[in-house]
């Protein structure tokens, strides 16, 4: 818009310089109608000045257009990258199996059926301290005056010993045999006072 305005101003200035000497002369003498060298020189200087301003305006417009083009290219590049990412995500989604669901909750454990040959061990602590009954090298803690029942124990031979806090081992090792459907009681009881 500024560029067009400057061009119109230049055209109007040139026309005015050419027409003004004719109007002063009255339009009767052809020699008087001709502009002098000084008029032409002044006109050329004004035209050069206006052309310089037009060039500056054109350079500014080109610079602004270049900056706008650079911004537009940057935006276009970002849109291209986003489009590529969207396409990649859509391809990944398409590769997913249909109607699949994933849960991190574990199902409830299925109760194990008792072994074909199984029995029960009952650990009874009638002592005022915690007892440890070790069966086949597996320690089981029995609180004071409590009973612990071990169901579904495999049949066959086993070894146990009994320890009480502060007293150490008070029984064992003892070897026994557990038959199918048998129930064996292991009691922890206070030792009789030694006299």
56-107 pLDDT per residue, tens = 877 788 778 878 788 888 888 888 888 888 888 888 888 877 666 666 666 7
CB atoms within 10 A of CB 85: 10
Say what the pLDDT of residue 143 is.
93
| Residue whose entry in the numeric block shows the structure tokens 């009691």 | 187
123-146 pLDDT per residue, tens = 999 988 899 999 999 999 999 999
Beta-bridge mates of residue 121: 150, 184
- Closest-CA residue to 34 (of 50, 21, 44): 21
């Amino acid at each position: 818009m500024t560029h067009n305005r400057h061009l119109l101003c230049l055209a109007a200035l040139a026309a005015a310089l050419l027409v003004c000497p004719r109007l002063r002369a009255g339009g009767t003498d052809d020699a008087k109608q001709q502009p002098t060298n000084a008029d032409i020189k002044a006109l050329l200087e004004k035209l050069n000045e206006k052309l310089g301003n037009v060039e500056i305006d054109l350079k500014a417009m080109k610079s602004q257009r270049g900056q706008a083009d650079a911004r537009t290219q940057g935006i276009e590049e970002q849109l291209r990258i986003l489009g590529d990412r969207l396409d990649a995500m859509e391809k990944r989604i398409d590769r997913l199996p249909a109607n699949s669901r994933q849960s991190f909750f574990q199902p409830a454990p299925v109760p194990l059926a008792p072994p074909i040959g199984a029995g029960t061990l009952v650990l009874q602590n009638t002592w005022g301290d915690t007892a440890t009954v070790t069966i086949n090298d597996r320690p089981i803690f029995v609180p004071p005056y409590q009973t612990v029942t071990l169901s579904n124990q495999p049949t066959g031979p086993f070894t146990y010993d009994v320890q009480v806090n502060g007293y150490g081992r008070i029984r064992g090792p003892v070897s026994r045999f557990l038959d199918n459907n048998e129930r064996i009681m292991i009691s922890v009881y206070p030792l009789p006072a030694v006299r």
